[in-house]
Structure 1
Amino acid sequence: MLRSQSRMDSTTAAATAAAAAAPAPVLLVTNDDGIDAPGLRFLVDRLVAAGRYRVLVCAPDTDKSGVSHCITWRPALRCKRVDIIGATAFGVSGTPADCASLGISGKLFDGLVPDLVLSGINIGNNCGYHVIYSGTVAGAREAFLYGIPAIAMSYDWVAGRSSVNDLKVSAEVCMPLINAIVTEIKNGTYPQGSFLNVDVPTDAAHPKGYKITKQGTYMARISWEQTVYKKPAVESYQTANMDVDGEKDSELVTSENDLLFKRVIVGRSSNGVEGEETDHNSLVDGYITVTPLGALSRTEPDAIPYFKACVSRLVDNFSSPGSSFSRSRG
């Protein structure tokens, strides 16, 4: 019995020593609100405070909200070191997708390739069709395209109710999910077929819990109004997210003959009736929504037969005698 206990103690000690010697998981943080945005800073603070990760930051040096999956093709990117306690950080003159791509390449961080990419925490939700416009989601998607697990994270900011502290709370409530995903990656059990889009409800301090959801069709409906440019007196934390009620003008060079138009939100809607398990419905209901996403948008299955029949008719018409297409080939 004593020998058996001794062997068990020895095995436990060896396992503990091996765990202590194992390199810390490497996490890369990016966003679209810019490297100085409070959501990113709070998230990095929480990751560093956990004491179990090596934290890298590669994020746009200015606000790049709403740029979707835009990339910089010809110009070189300017990368400047930024002091963030506990992390190695660079501000980059590119888009969120650029930053994720550069950050996972091994070129910027001396050969380090992250185990997990985190994009956020964004100011404003990214539910439904908003994932198409979102630079936050694009940062995570870019990593996913290259085989790196990724999570996009956003907070459902509501003007008049939300404060910067809610972004700090959002980082805190996302930590259990981040920790769990890192464990799955370490164990080799994390699936490769999707990345995650996480949205934290407006009352970030009192969520009902995590809920796995599917992407719905919710979006803020946009129109345009003519305006006169005026430089804002104070920069707002409410950045150019589609669903945030606020404005953030950029510097414009204008002349008296220029017409200026700005986007305005005229409503919020979904196409058709959505079930309870969709991202936006669950978010409004108070859940932290966790939505697995893929790289591609796919049409509804019932549309396939229609388009097959439509294309078949077109082919028949083009190839029939007397058609303009048939005559041109003859």
Structure 2
Amino acid sequence: MEGGKLGTILITNDDGIDAPGLRALVQSLVVANLFNLQVCAPDSEKSAVSHSITWLHPIAAKQVKIDGTTAFAVSGTPADCASLGVSKALFPTVPDLVVSGINKGSNCGYHIVYSGTVAGAREAFFNDVPSISISYNWVKGKSDLNDFTLAAQVCLPIISAVLVEAKNPSYPRKCFLNVDVPTVVPNHKGYKLTKQGKSIIKMGWKQVTSETEGQKMSSDMTNTDTDISKNFDPSSVSPEHLLFTREVRGSHLDDDESDYRSLQEGYITVTPLAALSHAEVDCQAYFKNWLQSVPGPSSL
């Protein structure tokens, strides 16, 4: 490796290239001086865009200065950034590892489906590049920006270990890793291998009378404020339009040793994820019998 370093890491995220979580992660990796670093991240916040991609028009990449790295801000989604970053179209080589994060707020349970942070790692996985998504369980009123640096530091051993182990033919290529760091980082209980649970915030909709209503939505799971007005264009709303905003109506948490439950207990959760989700066994059995009872399609 160049200069005796462990390998090349591509950093992306969904909070945007200026987000404190990404900057803390990059700074910690630069200080470690063990890696060659590339950054390819959205030029603005792209939270909760899941695995959406840009298809109908080109995306723009602008080089920006981040000390110790070669960095680009991209007008696309996290999945776009990961795909472009590993393609050899933007950088001359394919990275050895993609790290997506550090996200402001946990990504556990069903919320993994919505996460742009996890999608960045998943897209790398689609392209046969080992990857890790990292999230910090930010709690409003308890967390501060220094916690991102602490979260990065406790994840450095995993990042280094994956870089080394991924060269081993036995390293599993059918999954990628999703890591969540607890709120009080110095009091963490260590790494814990977990499984994706079924925790989720229950959300509904309420009608509002103007674009200024409900501009901030607070999650009772992540306790982060999301300013939904930032990408809102008031001129796009005519008087005859009805306006609706999301609102939190409760949550469902797992009772077993799933990712979110373990995170709340103070563990740094490490959850292998796959791109394909398989239906529960009882669902397969039910629909196997059910389908046999459905009348066959008529000939056309």
Secondary structure, counterpart of 1:173 in structure 2: helix
Which of 225, 237, 256 is matched with 1:246 structurally?
Answer: 225
Q: Which amino acid aligns with 2:279?
A: T
Distance 1:63 1:35 in 2: 8
Quote the Cα distance in structure 2 between the aligned partners of 1:48 and 1:204. Answer: 21
For 2:124, which of 130, 134, 143 is the aligned residue? 143
The answer to whether the aligner puts 1:152 opposite 2:133 as a matched pair is yes
For residues 143-183 of structure 1, what are the alpha-carbon distances to aligned partners after superposition, in whole Å with 9 as ceiling and x for unaligned?
Answer: 00111000000011112222222112111111111111112
Count of residues in Structure 1 that have an aligned counterpart in Structure 2: 295
Cα distance in 1 for partners of 2:5, 2:146 equals 33
Does the CA contact (< 8 Å) of 2:219 and 2:248 recur in 1? no
Alignment of 1:209-224 (within 5 A): 209-224=190-205
**Corresponding residue of 2:165:** 184
Aligned to 2:114: 133
Quick one: structure 1 residues 26 and 41, their matched pair in 2 at CA, closer, same or farther if it must change by over 3 Å?
A: same
State the match for 2:278 in structure 1: 298
Residue 201 (structure 1) aligned with residue 182 (structure 2): yes
Given that 1:63 and 1:239 are in contact with CA atoms closer than 8 Å, whether structure 2 keeps it comes out as: no
Instruction: Give the letter aligned to residue 242 of structure 2.
Output: L
TM-score between the two structures when normalised by the length of structure 2: 0.91
Aligned pairs for 1:278-317 (under 5 A) are: 278-314=258-294, 317=295
* Equivalent of 2:81 in 99, 103, 109: 99
Letter paired with 1:203? V
Question: What is the deviation of 1:266?
Answer: 1.4
Contact conserved, 1:121 with 1:167, CA < 8 A, in 2?
yes
Letter in structure 2 aligned against 1:258: H
Instruction: Say if 1:216 and 1:274, in contact at 8 Å, map to a contact too.
Output: no
Q: For 1:226 and 1:162, how far apart are their aligned partners in 2? A: 32
Q: 1:166 to 1:140 in 2, by over 3 A?
A: same
Alpha carbons of structure 1 residues 159 and 218: separation in structure 2 relative to 1, 3 Å: same
- CA distance in 2 between counterparts of 1:190 and 1:94 reads 31
CA contact (8 A) 2:218 2:224 kept: no
Identity %: 50
- Displacement of 1:205 after TM fit? 2.2
**Unpaired segments of 5 or more residues in structure 2?**
none
Alpha carbons 2:52, 2:79 under 8 Å: kept = yes
Pair 1:263 & 2:243 matched: no
Write the distance in 2 (CA, Å) between the matches of 1:61 and 1:229.
24
2:212 is matched with 230
Q: What is the one-letter code of the residue matched to 1:30? A: T
CA distance in 2, matches of 1:155, 1:267: 21
Unpaired runs of at least 5, structure 1: 1-18, 319-324
TM-score, length basis structure 1: 0.83
Task: Give the Å deviation of 1:269.
Answer: 0.4
Cα separation, 1, equivalents of 2:220 and 2:78: 14
* Cα deviation digits, residues 89-120 of structure 1 (max 9, x gap): 000000000000000001101x2110000000
CA RMSD of aligned residues (A): 2.4
Given that 1:124 and 1:241 are in contact with CA atoms closer than 8 Å, whether structure 2 keeps it comes out as: no
Name the CA distance, whole Å, in 2 between partners of 1:209 and 1:84. Answer: 31
Supply the distance in 1 between the matched residues of 2:218 and 2:152 (Cα, whole angstroms): 18
Change (3 A) 1:269 1:100: same
Q: Which runs of 4+ in 1 moved over 6 A?
A: 238-242
CA distance in 1, matches of 2:159, 2:178: 12
Structure showing the higher helix proportion among its residues: 1
Residues 312 and 241 (structure 1 numbering): CA distance in 2 closer, same or farther, change over 3 Å?
A: same
Q: Name the stretch that deviates more: 172-181 or 145-154.
A: 172-181
The structure having more radius of gyration, on CA atoms, is 1
Look up the equivalent residue of 2:249 and give its one-letter code.
V
2 CA distance for matches of 1:100 and 1:20?
Answer: 22
Paired residue for 1:73? 55
Deviation at 1:186, TM superposition (A): 3.8
AA aligned to 2:30 is: V
1:240: Cα distance to partner?
9.3
| 2:177 partner letter | L
Alignment correspondent of 1:170: 151
